[in-house]
Chain A
Amino acid sequence: DQQVKQNSPSLSVQEGRISILNCDYTNSMFDYFLWYKKYPAEGPTFLISISSIKDKNEDGRFTVFLNKSAKHLSLHIVPSQPGDSAVYFCAASNAGGTSYGKLTFGQGTILTVHP
């Protein structure tokens, strides 16, 4: 049972436009959410996170929005750049519980930003 789902396997965007990557979760115990970015032949790298006490977190061109009632989060990249082309993984955790460090990942979305 996939507790974290990224329903779009891929997304193609023009340089300079907004990229919106979506993620849904089913486990109401999740209280901390992260986005990781992965380039080919490399490991994932942490991008941005949000706690369930917030509904928005911003870091430069990257903003994550959390809608707890809908169990949905999204990552906005504005403006998109060709170097943003990568696989993006959404991850969730029950950080306030005893299983700290345990991440549940989505399937990933391949973002391609065209020049």
Chain B
Amino acid sequence: EAQVTQNPRYLITVTGKKLTVTCSQNMNHEYMSWYRQDPGLGLRQIYYSMNVEVTDKGDVPEGYKVSRKEKRNFPLILESPSPNQTSLYFCASSPPASEETQYFGPGTRLLVL
């Protein structure tokens, strides 16, 4: 089944404790992206990647890191989480020549205390 998977689905952590949210897709997509969803703000792009080893900032990159060492994986790293990073996070991927039509993962709900 073609899908985007994220782990974990739910995470409670404390300020400053480094964490990684994994994202994997099995559709051989080149384009991958991370979003956060907050009430009243919709989805905002954090980082995106056009292909392996090619990443760039989205609209709200502060406090986040990403890497793209393999085509299928695009982990999101919070090196020192803060309470304002409490949010619902979505990973997405899309096929070539149709980057706007994105396939989203199920989401990761993060609470930073």
Contact = CB atoms under 8 A, between A and B. Distances in A.
Interface of A: 2, 4, 6, 32, 34, 36, 41-46, 49, 89, 91, 93, 95, 100-108
Interface string B16-37: 0000000000000001010100
Contacts of A91: 43, 100
Chain B: interface secondary structure? strand
B40 A101 contact: no
Contact of A89 (B42, B45, B99): B42
Interface in B92-113: 92, 94, 99-107
Contacts of A104: 59
Most central of A91, A101, A102 by chain B CB within 10 Å: A101
Interface string B56-77: 0011000000000000000000
Given A42-B106, A42-B107, A43-B107, A105 B43 contact: yes
28 contacts: A4-B42, A6-B42, A41-B106, A41-B107, A42-B106, A43-B4, A43-B92, A43-B104, A43-B105, A43-B107, A44-B43, A46-B103, A49-B101, A89-B42, A93-B100, A95-B99, A100-B99, A100-B100, A101-B94, A101-B102, A102-B45, A102-B48, A103-B45, A105-B35, A105-B42, A105-B43, A107-B41, A108-B42
Given A101-B33, A102-B48, A107 B40 contact: yes
A18 to B, nearest CB: 24
B50 interface: yes
Contact of B102 (A6, A103, A107): A103
A101 B106 contact: no
A101 B50 contact: yes
Given A105-B42, A107-B40, A44 B100 contact: no
List 8 A-B pairs, minimum CB-CB distance, nearest first. A43-B104, A101-B99, A105-B42, A105-B43, A107-B42, A93-B100, A100-B99, A44-B104
Interface string B78-104: 000000000000101010000111111
B107 A89 contact: no
A6 B40 CA distance: 10
